[in-house]
Amino acid sequence: MPSPTQEKHAKFVLSPWLPQGGLVAPVITRGEGSFIYDEDGKKYFDLGSGLIAVNLGHGHPKVVKAIQDQAAELGYAAPSLFNAKRAALAEELSEISPWAKSGEGCRTFFTTAGAEANDDALRIAQHLTGRRKVLSAYRSFHGSTGSAITLTGEDRRWGGEPGFPGISRFFAPYPYRSPFYAETPQQETERAIEHLERVLMHEDPKRVAAIFVETVVGSNGVIVYPDGYLKALRALTEKHGILLVLDEVMTGFGRTGAAFGAIRFDVVPDMMTFAKGVTSAYVPLGGLMVRESLAKTFDTRALPSGHTYSGHPMAVAAGLAAVRAYKEENLFARGKELESFLAESLAPLAKKYDIVGDVRGVGAFFAVEFVKSKAGKEPLVPWHGDGPGVMKTLYAELRKREVYTFGKFNCCMVAPPLNAKKEDITKAIGALDESIAALAATL
């Protein structure tokens, strides 16, 4: 029986991306560390860090205090006025950015979310290059607003079509299901780049302003590009004067075992977008980091973007406290430490269950991909669907065992907060093991 709050929620709130009829979800009332609690007091380990965003766990005292203090001090300042915390956060971001090593640094334009950051990055890339076209990858997600939804390379884009003009897509590597019939990671990289070169030839590289990619494909199944792909992509974009925009909305702030995926994979982009982990998701904040050599263009030309909430004091105060907490608590390195722990803890699931086709990831960012059987690799549920609620069964079984996570299609996210205790992660993976057994028994 739905509770009164569940009934009210279903009656008055529209939930994202789903048919609304019959929706019921736990009513979350409190969060502490790696756990969230529902209205009945039941606790769930947050194995998906919210939406891969609560990288510091819930209720980090320093971030909470920064938000409380900021609310008492100043709730709003127009973005055209200056603000000390906004400046301090942008400086911190420059210092942890992939442009810090060379001394170049960057400037940040703040937004409210990741999608807006990608919209702005696209427009700014067009202004910087004087070119109109943009390329992005199939099987990507870049957000649900204006041009971000058209950049998106999966089914969530379909409802927003025909969309923003001038965006074409290409296939990026997917080692488990190679679109290029590759048999080795090296082949996958080489063939993916060859394919992209061919796409560029047909689009005319001189008309292409930017290529957008997620540094690791996030909500479409945590696809880690094979060695050398991002570097080869960088070389190709440089050759044609095309800007490389890395979408670090999901991968930023320690998720890949470094401040940003760009640093983990040693690639220097032209712009980077971020959101989610910048405040550990406590307050909505996103942004666009522009390398200094490009940002200075706007010393003499107007920046072609602006928002009422750009660099909102509440958001930047939370962001500043969160970024300092990541640094003080060495959490970017903890993400890297969790990589081998998660890989070793999840590997037995792939051996044990014929429906577990692949377990993959980097840092504290993993996914389990489900199949009908290992041999055939046919996805357990079809693209753009969950069959008759097959994956829903898995998430319901997990919740029965006090674990929350989420996924898309046949992939389930395993991405705990960066400061989660190993014993709690082990327990959650034990629950995942039992939940997969329960799911397999229903098939």
Positions touching ligand PLP (CB under 6 A) are 51, 113-115, 118, 141-143, 214, 218-219, 247, 249-250, 275, 286
For ligand PLP, the closer of residues 205 and 287 by Cβ is: 287
Least Cβ distance, residue 72 to ligand PLP (angstroms): 27
Cβ count within 10 A of residue 442? 10
Task: Please enumerate in sequence order all residues whose Cβ is within 8 A of that of 283, keeping only pairs 6 or more positions apart, or say none.
Answer: 67, 312, 314, 315, 318, 319
Least Cβ distance, residue 285 to ligand PLP (angstroms): 9
Cβ count within 10 A of residue 11? 8
For ligand PLP, the closer of residues 146 and 379 by Cβ is: 146
Task: Give the orientation angle of helix 331-352 with respect to helix 422-442, to 10 degrees.
Answer: 30
For ligand PLP, the closer of residues 230 and 356 by Cβ is: 230
When CB distances to ligand PLP are compared, the closest residue is 114
Least Cβ distance, residue 119 to ligand PLP (angstroms): 9
For ligand PLP, the closer of residues 326 and 365 by Cβ is: 365
Cβ count within 10 A of residue 3? 14
For ligand PLP, the closer of residues 105 and 335 by Cβ is: 335
For ligand PLP, the closer of residues 143 and 319 by Cβ is: 143
Least Cβ distance, residue 105 to ligand PLP (angstroms): 24
Exposure string for 401-433, b = 16+ CB within 10 A, e = fewer: bebbbbbbbbbbbbbbbbbbeeebbeebbebbb
Least Cβ distance, residue 17 to ligand PLP (angstroms): 11
For ligand PLP, the closer of residues 413 and 436 by Cβ is: 413
Picking from 236, 172, 360, the residue whose alpha carbon sits closest to that of residue 180 is 172
* Bridge partners (DSSP) listed for residue 106: 291
Q: What share of the chain is helix, strand, coil (3-state, %, to 5)?
A: 40, 15, 40
Least Cβ distance, residue 230 to ligand PLP (angstroms): 15
Least Cβ distance, residue 386 to ligand PLP (angstroms): 19
Picking from 411, 435, 419, 297, the residue whose alpha carbon sits closest to that of residue 46 is 419
Report residue 21 as tokens.
């009829």
β-strand pairing of 208-214 with 243-247:
parallel
